[in-house]
């Protein structure tokens, strides 16, 4: 059950050392649609979001989308992430995506008054997520164990770059640094992205793992009446765990006795655009070769001794590109669909959202911001059938 909230949901004005700004839950601009997941299992739970940038706020946002009431704590200068990327009226697009619908409370935790007010929030919360440096928590006397000593039902998830047992345990860490350290940047370089992946992959994955741990801690609490000890989610370990099935697959079989079939992600230029095919195994590759009329290539898949995966894929891609170059995207996809081959058009983000807007249940929808303008935000990706 959620933490007891018999007192008023509003914090008394005496507990506001700086000021309190509330961003109301944004109403949808699409008639009949809901701005959050219709399935709200966390309704009644209160989450304290003390994170900045992307990972911590995203984890709290996920719980908010599932019904929890999220209060975000920021310092007197606000959240620096709000100034990143595309902005309107000083509100960054990325910040808005992972913070919409949250109540914003500004506190100066360097002051005794600010810490007292923060602890008032802790006392009436069910869960807390943050990505503060460890020495900051210790210096302020706000370590996870100390917070749970006040509120035994508080689930605490800390996000950090490294584990406490690592030499770098207190080092400030960002997504691009973890991508470089974990092998993702070198992988991106191998396909021409010299600066690494152009997305905050590790940040977003860490936010997902943190959300999992928060909900798991709340589930454990339901059985024991007490929250488990604070949990740390390490960005470096997330990068390893999340990417191990593909990025590290060549290191799984330590004895080196293995068969290798490289990923068959094939980009094909058509007459009016491009498509992508991704046949994942020999059976699917055989269908592709047969669809292109390359019976000789299909036969090679059955040649156990003479089969060279890299050579086969290069020739298969060459046959596909030659065979589909004269087709339009629509006709090429129709041809592949007749052979039950998985393929899709290559779209940029703007064209994807234009396509998405025509779906009965879009993945993104228009919302109304309290400052009077509209914006797009993603819909939680879980639906009742």
- Residues serving a catalytic function are 203
- Identify whether the C-beta of residue 292 lies closer than 8 Å to the C-beta of residue 279: no
Query: Considering only CA atoms, which of 39, 40, 43, 30 is closest in space to residue 2?
Result: 43
End-to-end, the C-alpha distance of the chain in Å comes to: 27
Q: What DSSP string runs through 266-288?
A: EEEE-SSSEEEE---SHHHHHHH
The number of beta carbons lying within 10 Å of the beta carbon of residue 59 is 31
Q: Provide the 8-state DSSP code for 178.
A: H
Q: Which helix (H) or strand (E) holds 105?
A: strand 103-106
Six-digit token pair at 382?
Answer: 């879980």
Coil, strand or helix at 218: helix
At 18, give phi and psi (nearest 5°).
-115, -85
Q: Where are the alpha helices (DSSP H) in 101-200?
A: 112-123, 134-140, 144-150, 175-182, 184-190
Yes or no: say if 263 and 311 are a contact pair by the CB < 8 Å rule: no
Contact 257, 308 (CB under 8 A): no
**d(C-alpha 32, C-alpha 28), whole Å:** 9
Neighbours of 317 (CB within 10 A): 17
DSSP-derived secondary structure letter, 370: T
**Count of beta carbons in the 10 Å neighbourhood of residue 292:** 21
**CA 80 to centroid of chain Cα atoms:** 20
* Residue 293: exposure state from Cβ atoms within 10 A (0-12, 13-18, ≥19): exposed
């Amino acid at each position: 059950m959620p933490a007891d909230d018999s007192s008023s949901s509003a914090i008394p004005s005496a507990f506001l050392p700086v000021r309190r700004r509330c961003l109301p839950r944004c109403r949808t601009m699409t008639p009949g649609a809901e701005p959050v997941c219709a399935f709200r299992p966390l309704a009644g739970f209160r989450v304290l979001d003390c994170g900045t940038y992307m990972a911590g706020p995203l984890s709290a946002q996920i719980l908010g989308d599932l019904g929890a009431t999220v209060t975000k704590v920021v310092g007197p200068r606000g959240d620096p992430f709000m100034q990143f990327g595309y902005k309107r009226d000083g509100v960054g697009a990325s910040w808005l995506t992972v913070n919409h619908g949250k109540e914003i409370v500004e506190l100066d935790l360097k002051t005794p008054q600010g810490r007292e007010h923060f602890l008032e929030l802790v006392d009436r919360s069910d869960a807390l997520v943050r990505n503060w440096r460890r020495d900051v928590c210790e210096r302020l006397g706000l370590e996870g164990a100390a917070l749970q000593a006040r509120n035994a039902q508080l689930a605490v998830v800390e996000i950090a770059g490294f584990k406490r047992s690592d030499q770098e345990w207190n080092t400030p860490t960002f997504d691009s640094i973890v991508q470089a350290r974990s092998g993702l940047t070198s992988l991106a370089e191998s396909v021409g992205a010299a600066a690494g992946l152009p997305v905050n992959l590790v940040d977003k994955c860490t936010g997902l793992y943190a959300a999992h741990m928060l909900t798991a801690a709340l589930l454990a609490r339901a059985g024991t009446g007490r929250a488990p000890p604070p949990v740390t989610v390490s960005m470096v370990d997330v990068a390893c765990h999340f990417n191990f099935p593909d990025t590290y697959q060549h290191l799984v079989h330590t004895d080196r006795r293995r068969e290798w079939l490289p990923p068959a992600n094939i980009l094909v230029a058509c007459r009016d655009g491009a498509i992508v095919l991704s046949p994942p195994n020999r059976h699917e590759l055989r269908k592709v070769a047969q669809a292109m009329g390359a019976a000789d290539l299909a036969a090679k898949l059955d040649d156990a001794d003479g089969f060279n995966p890299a050579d086969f894929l290069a020739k298969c891609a060459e046959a596909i590109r030659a065979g589909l170059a004269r087709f339009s995207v629509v006709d090429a996809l129709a041809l592949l669909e007749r052979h039950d081959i998985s393929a899709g058009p290559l779209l940029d983000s703007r064209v994807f959202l234009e396509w998405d807007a025509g779906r009965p249940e879009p993945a993104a929808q228009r919302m109304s911001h309290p400052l009077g303008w509209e914006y797009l935000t993603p819909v939680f990706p879980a639906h009742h059938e």
